[in-house]
Structure 1
């Protein structure tokens, strides 16, 4: 993984591992 993204973005990637949380984040961005 490239270390160019800030901490917040990195956290999203880690949480993205969870389907339920992923849907929540996706809605937030949408």
Structure 2
């Protein structure tokens, strides 16, 4: 099975929340 690419939950987590968490951890939170 190929890995999901767009708007698909990564590691069983919500896509948008996952991205936001990654940005938060990276220290670059952008209000889009």
TM range (shorter): 0.3 to 0.5
Which one has the bigger helix percentage?
Answer: 1
- The higher radius of gyration belongs to 2
Q: Whose RCO is larger (CA < 8 A, sep 6+)?
A: 1
